[in-house]
Chain A
Amino acid sequence: MTYPPHFDETLNKVKETRNFRKSQEIERLNDNERTRLIADFHPDYRDEGMEKLRIGANKGNRVPVELAKTLESYSIYNPDQLNLAEPDYCTDILIVGGGGAGCAAALTAHEGGAEVLMTTKLRLGDANTLMAEGGMCSPVRPEDSPYLHFIDTIGGGHYTNIPELVKALVSDGPEIAAWLMDMGVMFDYEEDGSLKVNHCGGHSRKRMLSCKDLTGLELMRVMRDELRDRQIPCLEFSPVVDLLLDENGACSGAVLYNMETGEMTTVHAKAVIMASGGIGRLHIQGFPTTNHYGATADGLVVAYRAGAELIHMDSIQYHPTGTVWPEQLLGQLITEVMRGQGAHLVNVNGERFVNELECRDTCASACIRECSERGNGVVTPTGFEGVWLDTPLIPDIKNHFVGIYQRFKKYDIDIQHEPILVYPTQHYQNGGLKINPQAETSLPGLYAAGEVAGGIQGKNRLAGNSLLDIFVYGRRAARRALEVNKDYGGSEKLTVEHIRDYHASLQELAVPKEQHSPVLLPDYTPAKQKAEV
């Protein structure tokens, strides 16, 4: 595969300018310059990509067109056909999602003595957590502190974060690191026995703990192993397609859809923890994504239909460095740590155009400006455009970034000697279900943790902060649910009245009958005529 011959000219320029760039200082932008760059080039600011919600708790709010359509849709089944008098499962705490947040919640709830049932759309552990390369930020070093981590996170989020949520995030960070070590996670260490820490965009201290460049995989497989050791039950291939309420309007369970048999089942639970992940596979504004196959905003849909409030859903994070070539890897993540270790962002002429350690929205906007207004992008044979991430600047890249090195080697690209062509890719849903520091949503009985929750990261998340947030809020959600469950006064009587009401409102808006959600999986098959079976 390697690079097409017409890349030779620009590849030579990158090589020729490498030595000069090493000693070049690129100033960071001030607040005004940064705001302007983002307003001019960040996809969140494209009016044609946004639409006002016509229904629900956030009626009138501006959200991505693709999300609006998903939220303004009918359930995928007929609510009148459920047998709510005899739920198929009864449990203390139902946990929706088998990624990092769901697993942390399940382990914590189990430690607290609750009966736990997990349910997930694909296999246990199939989630964005597993794909995280860089690492998890935690202010553990003596040179660092939760205070500094707080300032970095809230400044990076442009002061839109809910401050109390950031306080909880940074305060729990050290305990989370210890909790994971106690489970047998292989973090990276220096030879003197101190934890290896990496730098990354927007942070003022090196505070990213890593497990080589497969941090998420290591965290996920350790937690999954521990869940199995404790024999915590998990229903796989069973996504949630609606929430159930009790007669007082509190969340008291869920409707599950068995994707393999088509069967609908119901769960009664005293509390539900939503940890269903993000939105990337809705392909907001047509962007490729770094996200998992199942990231289709299911949790937002079902919670919104049940009345829960959303926050910051007009804010999507585009990671500056998604792969553009080879096309087979389109949209896949190149970790930020590469920039933290010295890789430059370089245009077609071999010039740097932004300080590589700026926040993600800033770097992404700068890449888009380079490829649009300034016309300095590198165009691929099939018309995609990107800029170079100059990886040969990184010392010992082959050992430090084994996963990425191997991935490109398969396509005859040696990242020790050649740069990687990148462009922003949809990476993270900054907003989500609005929560408080105890992970409670606006709907009683419903808790949220991980990417589906919003307000923690504000409108721009810093690298390494989501791997931390899944654990912090997964554990907080479980602890709060345990506490509330002690005085559980809910009803055994389940209802879907809220779904009937929601459907009636959709009909008033003349939403077409065949528009259903959650979409559960993206469809990458060719749009041929398919028979209805």
Chain B
Amino acid sequence: MADLIPIYYLGKKHLVPEGVTIMGAIELSGHRLVRGCGCRGGFCGACATVYRVPGDHQIKVGLACQTQIEEGMDVAILPYYPAQKILLNIRSEEDPVKTLYRMYPEMFRCLGCSACTKICPQDLSVMDIIAEAQRGNLTAVAEMSFDCVMCGLCASRCLAQMVPYNIAMSARRLYAYSSLPRPGYVDARIKEVEQGLYDGQIDELIDNGQEELQKLYAERDIECI
């Protein structure tokens, strides 16, 4: 059995085994989470957590399901933070960069304080992402923000009161919609399916039964890695 160490959850002391995650520690203290818990695998951003450790003035962050506890840490999960989202019509004819500028003009009020970057539990360079958004470089915004889990912590710290993760969300969609290629073979295949090119082939497989299928399966050629 691991040694027990103290942590403070919402200011209340609990003794929990060393080495567990913050989420594990909260549950081992008897709490059954409803808010502030989602995929438990670091993907969903439901358990954005802020904490401080003794002897350090700095505020620290992490996803509760991914962060190990430290002795004496003082923890609060931030399950929700109000955010503004502007409605996007992805199919509009407007220039994508102009669309983004129109939607979120507050991005130009960025003070360059870097609080967003410091707080991001995914280690994204949020301030640089906003700088690229200001420059209208949607490709850079899309690539740099790809790992965003939209936990909301950046919005909670922004001095210019913007919501960086929603700006990045719109930028990624605008970039993908306007700039990523759509290979011709995709539409060609859709057309073939619509024309019923494969219906007969597949129906024949179904009618011929399992033995024939087993034979085809065993004999199929497999593309190399």
Instruction: List residues of A whose CB falls within 8 A of some B CB.
Output: 1, 30-31, 122-123, 125-126, 130-131, 139-143, 145-148, 150-152, 154-155, 159, 163-164, 167, 170-172, 174-175, 177-178, 181-187, 189, 193-195, 199, 204-206, 211-212, 214, 216-218, 221-222, 225-226, 228-229, 231, 237, 259-260, 290, 292-293, 327-328, 332-333, 340-342, 357, 402-403, 406-407, 410, 521, 523-526, 528
**Sample of 4 more A-B contacts, CB < 8 Å, known A1-B19, A212-B146:** A159-B210, A159-B214, A167-B206, A199-B225
Instruction: List residues of B whose CB falls within 8 A of some A CB.
Output: 19-21, 24, 27-35, 37-44, 46, 66-68, 85, 87-91, 123, 142, 146-147, 149-150, 169-170, 172-177, 180-183, 185-190, 193, 198-199, 201-203, 205-206, 210, 213-214, 216-218, 220-223, 225
Q: Are B190's CB and A175's CB within 8 A?
A: yes
For the complex formed, measure the closest distance between the CB of A70 and the CB atoms of chain B, giving whole angstroms: 18
Q: Are A293's CB and B181's CB within 8 A?
A: no
Q: Are B180's CB and A181's CB within 8 A?
A: yes
Residues of the B chain whose Cβ atoms lie less than 8 Å from the Cβ of A410: 66-68
Could you show 25 A-B contacts with beta carbons less than 8 Å apart? A122-B46, A130-B44, A147-B201, A150-B205, A151-B205, A151-B216, A178-B182, A182-B90, A183-B90, A184-B175, A186-B142, A187-B180, A204-B222, A204-B223, A211-B146, A214-B147, A222-B172, A225-B85, A225-B170, A228-B85, A237-B35, A293-B38, A342-B225, A406-B147, A524-B27
Which chain B residue shows the least CB distance to A132?
A: B43
For the complex formed, measure the closest distance between the CB of A420 and the CB atoms of chain B, giving whole angstroms: 15
Q: Are B41's CB and A290's CB within 8 A?
A: yes
Residues of the B chain whose Cβ atoms lie less than 8 Å from the Cβ of A199: 223, 225
Tell which of B89, B185, B193, B220 touches A229, judged by Cβ atoms closer than 8 Å. B89
Q: Are A164's CB and B206's CB within 8 A?
A: yes
Which of A126, A211, A342 gathers the greatest number of chain B CB atoms within 10 Å? A126
Residues of the B chain whose Cβ atoms lie less than 8 Å from the Cβ of A125: 44
Residues of the A chain whose Cβ atoms lie less than 8 Å from the Cβ of B223: 143, 199, 204-206
Which chain B residue shows the least CB distance to A185?
A: B176
Q: Are B201's CB and A229's CB within 8 A?
A: no
Tell which of A148, A174, A292, A525 touches B186, judged by Cβ atoms closer than 8 Å. A174
Residues of the A chain whose Cβ atoms lie less than 8 Å from the Cβ of B217: 151-152, 154-155
Tell which of A171, A327, A333, A341 touches B41, judged by Cβ atoms closer than 8 Å. A333
Report the separation of the CA atoms of residues A435 and B5 in the bound assembly, to the nearest whole angstrom: 52
